[in-house]
Amino acid sequence: MKRLFPILAVLTAIFLAYALHLALSKATPTDALQGDVYRIIYYHVPSAWSAFLLFLINFVASVVYLIRRSPKADIVAVVSAEVGVVFCTIVLVTGPIWARPVWGIWWAPGDIRLTSTLVLWLIYVSYLVLRRFSSSAQTQMLAAALAVFGALDVPLVYFSIWFFRTQHPQPVIGGGGSMDPPMLHTLLISWLAFLCFAFLICWSRFRLELLKREVEQAHAMESLVGAGESAKASLPLSRSSR
């Protein structure tokens, strides 16, 4: 598996470079209304889809942990949340960059999709803060419960433009719209490249987190053994003092 990681990393880098080439080259036509600024869609939309998928994985892993108390499920949950927050941050950054020249404003406060996406980001940032700074024995269970709650916001973000009047563009995939074939091809290629990149990060973080917990368990065992030996060593001294 260690030998496979560098190979996948190189292939993913090539895949990302190819997706960038498609997004910026004339292989995809320039939008008639938005101009070249529309090309940010090839990062904005795949980042959103990747974040949704990672938060779904976090939800499933959290439920598994609540049921079985599986340490590996807990690691999958925290890793997927970390990478999901990264992609969700990309969504929140690229969205206003596109909106400024198209809408004339950076942010529409009353837009339900924008607001619900920001709330989703805040929930999972809170999840990571809880995991990072809480030292309670119940931290993992509380974090898993928060993750289950946070996952409820994902369908709201996705379906908000179907059920609410928003300034956000209506969907062109699965929403009755259409997309030029080269544009759709580039969008799907970009998403696959992002998924490969997300997989590599999650794989690396999973291995690091697993190693970290093994080291912490080893240190805890050494502390217990050391405490036991200290107690045995002090026992004859206490008797002799009597």
pLDDT for 238 equals 47
Count the helices and strands in the chain (H runs, E runs): 7, 0
pLDDT for 109 equals 72
141 and 66 Cβ atoms separated by less than 8 Å: yes
pLDDT for 242 equals 46
Give every CB contact of residue 226 below 8 A, 6+ residues apart in sequence. Answer: none
Residues of the chain with pLDDT under 50: 176, 237-242
pLDDT for 38 equals 79
pLDDT for 14 equals 93
pLDDT for 239 equals 46
pLDDT for 61 equals 95
Residues 165 and 195: their CA atoms lie apart, in Å, by: 31
pLDDT for 92 equals 92
Locate 174 and state its tokens. 């699965």
Three-state SS at 31: strand
Distances (CA, A) of 175 to 89, 119, 141, 167, 178: 25, 24, 38, 16, 9
Domain segments of the chain as ranges: 12-209
pLDDT digits (tens, 9 = 90+) for 62-92: 999 999 988 899 999 999 999 999 999 999 9
